[in-house]
Amino acid sequence: MNERVIKRYYFVAGILFAIAVLAGIIRLFDILLEFDKLAFLNIVAIIFLGLSLLTLVTLILHSFIFEKQKIKEELRRKDEPEKLKKYASRKKIDKK
């Protein structure tokens, strides 16, 4: 997989995780200071944490798919010269 794409996935996942951690820390201070007015931040933190995990899972799936395609392409490239030799030898036989 292209390194830029991997870096972008990690960057997005890192930002989402940082937002989730920041929301969790703010909620923790809200509880400790007994304001209890930012209860919705628990849900926000869970949502951003879920999004970051989803981003990492899609990165893993994309990399597996890309590696399989790369292996298939390499095998195909190795087989092409052999097939071309077979066809070339058949053409020589047909011309005689």
Tally of residues, the chain: 96
The pLDDT tens digits along the chain (96 residues) read 678 888 999 999 999 999 999 999 999 999 999 888 888 888 999 999 999 999 999 999 988 998 999 899 888 888 888 777 777 766 666 665
- Listed in sequence order, the residues at least 6 apart from 87 whose beta carbon sits closer than 8 Å to its beta carbon are none
* pLDDT computed for residue 16 by the predictor: 94
* pLDDT computed for residue 13 by the predictor: 94
